[in-house]
Structures are given as C-alpha cells and as structure tokens.
Structure 1
Amino acid sequence: MTPRKYSSPLRRAEAERTRLAILDAAAALFSSEGYPATTKKGIAQEAGVSVQSVHLAGSKAALLVAAFERTFAGDEGRHSLSERPQIAEIMSRSDPEDAVRGWLDYVAQANARTAGLVRAMTVAAETDALAAEAVSDLEARRRSDIGLAAGWLVERGMLSGDEIEQATDELNHLVGPETYAFFVTRSGWHEERYRRWLEVTLRGLLERWRGALEASPAARPPRARRAAAPP
C-alpha cells in the first residue's frame, strides 16, 4: 500500500511563512554583515527557525538571490518584472509621463531597499562560483526587463525600434544598482537628489530619442521622404 502524502492548506501556509521569515532574515544579515560573515546558523537565529529549515530553503547563494528578488520586487521567482502587479499597473497607465514617473519612483525605491544586498552579491560573485552564476543570471534577467521597458517606449511612440538595443543598454546603466551605489553610497548623494537626477537624465534621453525618431525617414510623410531623397 502506497503511503498517502499528507498536505493541507495550513501546512502549506506555515511553510510559506517560514520561507518568508528565512528570506527576510537573510536579507537583513547579508545587508548588514556581508556575504562571507553571514551563516545559515545566523539566518536561522534571526528568523527564529531551525538550522535544518534554512538548509532546506536552499544554498547560501540561492538564499541571497531569493532575498534580493523579494526585497526588490516583493516576491521571488524568475517571472518578468513587468508581470509583478505594481509594475504592470504602472505600464498600463494611459498617460506616458505619469507612467515614466511611476517607473522611476519604483526603481529609485527598489535600489534603496537593495543597496546592501547588491554589495553582498558583488562580494559573493568574487568568492563563490554558485553565487557568481546566480548573479550573472539575475543580471541577464534585469537586462531583459529593461528591454521590455524599451519596447514599451517604442509602443508609445517615444523611441524608434531601430534604437531599442542601444536604449536598453542606456536604461540598464541609468537605473542599475551600480549607478545608485556610485551616487548614493560612494558619492554621498541623498535619495531625493538621486531621484531628481534619474528624471532629468531620462528626460534628456527621451528628448534625444524623440528627435531621432522624428528625423528618421520612416517618420516622415511619403511626400517629404521623396523630396529628401537624392536625385
């Protein structure tokens, strides 16, 4: 007779609470103590759970990435940032200017929340092969999310499709955690100054992209394109 697997909503809910407690504890310790000094025993003590529960939750590198995802976006997982409710709501706004401001607010706040975790990931990637692989995957997913944002600009008529690859690189640099760390952590900027800089810089990029879009042959009426063509 095959043993019956026992499962219940209460048990699943308890397991979920335990995992969230572990991830929140991991985020706090990785941010304050750094990657090398943080141990699974310390995470267990901070979370109020057993060390075995932390072992079952994943490797140290996996916990670091999951803690970053939860702290940055509110939950963990490989699904696109555009599928998260807050970003989906921002991208669905009818006013593009309002959507851009909302996106920058989200990015600025998320970078502030995860600054310590980004420092931990930088160190982890230098000393732990599994962490380096996980961080590389996370960076690739971030660029993919930024590419979706650039695609959104194309759909709204704010960027030429021909410019999408370069625009993705520029946006990735603009809103990336490394740029936040340079200005806020190392240069001592306060959060409000960083947020203003984000908006001013993005406005400059949007103006440049809009100018290039308007100057492109595809944006001209057929008669104007014929007049501009060489004899």
Structure 2
Amino acid sequence: MPRAYHSPRREADAAATRAGIVAAAARLFIRDGYAATSMKAIAAEAGVSPQTVQLHGPKHALLIGAFETAFAGDEGSHSLTDRPVMAEIMGEPNFDVALQKYVGFLTRANARSATVVRAMMAAADADPAVRAAYAELEQRRQRDMGLAAQWFVGRERIAAAHASAGADVLSHLTGPDTYLHFTQDRGWSDDRYSAWVAHQLRTLDQQVAFGENAPR
C-alpha cells in the first residue's frame, strides 16, 4: 500500500489561507453587510483568488467561521467547556476568582464577535442558509449555557431544580445583544459592563428564583 502523503508545512499554509479568508470575510460582513459582500470581494480583501475562496465556502459557512474564530479563537462546534481556557476557569476552586475569569473571558469574546453576530442576525432575515446556520449556532450557545448553569448548581449558587431557568438568564446576561446594548448603544466601557455582569451573576439565584415564581 502506498504511504499517505503528509506535509505539515502544506497543512500550515492551508490553515493560514483559511484563517486569512475567514478574517477578511468577517471584516466585510461587519463593514458592508452579509448580502452586499460577494465572494469576489472576500477574495480581494484576503489577497487570494475567487476560486480559493469558493473552496472554503459557501458564504454562510464563512460567516459561521468568522463568528467561531472571533468568539473562541478557532473554528469548530465543540462545546465551550471543552476548550482549555474554560475548563481551567470552571476548575478554579475559588468561586469569586472563577467568576471574574468567566466574566472576563465572555466580555473579551463578545467584544471580538458581537458585531459579527449582529451581521448574522440581519442576514438571517433574508437568507435561509444563514437562518439555519444561526439557529444551529443558537442551539449550541444554549447548550453551553446549560452547562454553565450546571456549574452554578455545582457551586451551590442556584438550586438544581432551577438549572433550566438559570441557563435562560445566563443566555440573556452574557449574550451578544446585551453586550452591544450596553457598550455600543449606551456607551458603557467594557470594564463597566463586566462589573455589571459579575454583579448579576453573584445574585443569579435571586433572579432565577424570581423568574421561576413569576406568573406564566
């Protein structure tokens, strides 16, 4: 049997090309909007041929890749808790230290990715492929929020019976819309936003309990 050809340098070059295309797409999606950004424009921005961009497409996949890379540093649908940085945060024995690291991570991630999400939401209204991709992304985010809620349960910060409501509240508090509302729309600094989120999460049990007991 012939030996499979393996070239680390070629793989690194391919990864760098992919990263450049995704980064170029992200800049154009934010600046010009998803619908107005063509694959040809992405190619010009990335300094590669349109054929190369087509190989890394379709366009909605580049949009998802742009979000994943901006938010977590790489592409992939694996859980946020599987990433080393989040595993380290959740393994921190001191809750206050862990909470500060958790809020800091999410603030930085939102700062990098929230405008990409806003472009995605605008595109989802008119493009079925983007709408489906965004719905799948939201499912993944809610899964991560469920795992985060279980972490709060494990730290005895909310009751196990309130884990589902806890995931809902976490999704709102730490989501890109909330981040953009305060920092972009209302002019808050990231530090002020982080302090507010940390305060909300320290009293998460009260908010979740209120939500569970409110009229439905």
TM-score, normalising length from structure 1?
A: 0.85
Q: CA deviation at 1:31?
A: 1.7
Match of 1:62 in 2: 61
1:34/1:119 contact within 8 Å kept: no
Q: Secondary structure at the match of 2:203?
A: helix
1:40/1:54 contact within 8 Å kept: yes
Distance in 2 (alpha carbons) for counterparts of 1:192 and 1:204? 19
Q: Deviations along 1:108-129, whole A, 9 cap, x unmatched?
A: 1111111220111011101110
Distance in 2 (alpha carbons) for counterparts of 1:183 and 1:20? 30
Match of 1:99 in 2: 98
Distance in 2 (alpha carbons) for counterparts of 1:14 and 1:130? 29
Match of 1:204 in 2: 203
Q: Summarize the alignment of residues 128-167 of structure 1 with structure 2, pairs less than 5 Å apart.
A: 128-167=127-166
Q: CA deviation at 1:5?
A: 6.5
Q: Secondary structure at the match of 1:37?
A: coil
Q: CA deviation at 1:189?
A: 2.1
Match of 1:122 in 2: 121
Q: CA deviation at 1:132?
A: 0.3
Residue identity matched to 1:56? L
Asked if 1:29 corresponds to 2:28, the answer is yes
Residue identity matched to 1:172? S
Structure 1 residues 25, 63: closer, same or farther in 2, change over 3 A? same
Q: CA deviation at 1:4?
A: 8.3
Distance in 1 (alpha carbons) for counterparts of 2:51 and 2:161? 52
Structure 1 residues 101, 207: closer, same or farther in 2, change over 3 A? farther
Distance in 1 (alpha carbons) for counterparts of 2:155 and 2:208? 12
Q: Secondary structure at the match of 1:49?
A: coil
Distance in 1 (alpha carbons) for counterparts of 2:202 and 2:119? 32
Structure 1 residues 209, 124: closer, same or farther in 2, change over 3 A? closer
Residue identity matched to 1:58? G
Distance in 2 (alpha carbons) for counterparts of 1:183 and 1:80? 27
The sequence identity of aligned pairs, in percent, is: 46
2:149/2:166 contact within 8 Å kept: yes
Q: Which moved more, 1:22-31 or 1:64-73?
A: 22-31
Q: Deviations along 1:183-212, whole A, 9 cap, x unmatched?
A: 2222222222211211122222245669xx
Q: CA deviation at 1:141?
A: 0.3
Residue identity matched to 1:29? L
Q: Which moved more, 1:108-117 or 1:4-13?
A: 4-13
Distance in 2 (alpha carbons) for counterparts of 1:127 and 1:181? 22
Distance in 1 (alpha carbons) for counterparts of 2:208 and 2:32? 42
Distance in 2 (alpha carbons) for counterparts of 1:84 and 1:187? 32
Q: CA deviation at 1:35?
A: 1.1
Larger Rg: 1
Residue identity matched to 1:39? S
Q: CA deviation at 1:83?
A: 0.8
Residue identity matched to 1:133? A
Q: Secondary structure at the match of 2:78?
A: coil
Q: CA deviation at 1:48?
A: 1.5
TM-score, normalising length from structure 2?
A: 0.90
1:158/1:209 contact within 8 Å kept: no
2:145/2:170 contact within 8 Å kept: yes
Distance in 2 (alpha carbons) for counterparts of 1:30 and 1:152? 35
Q: Mark the runs of 5 or more structure 1 residues left unpaired by the alignment.
A: 211-231
Q: Deviations along 1:86-141, whole A, 9 cap, x unmatched?
A: 11111111111111111111111111111220111011101110000000000110
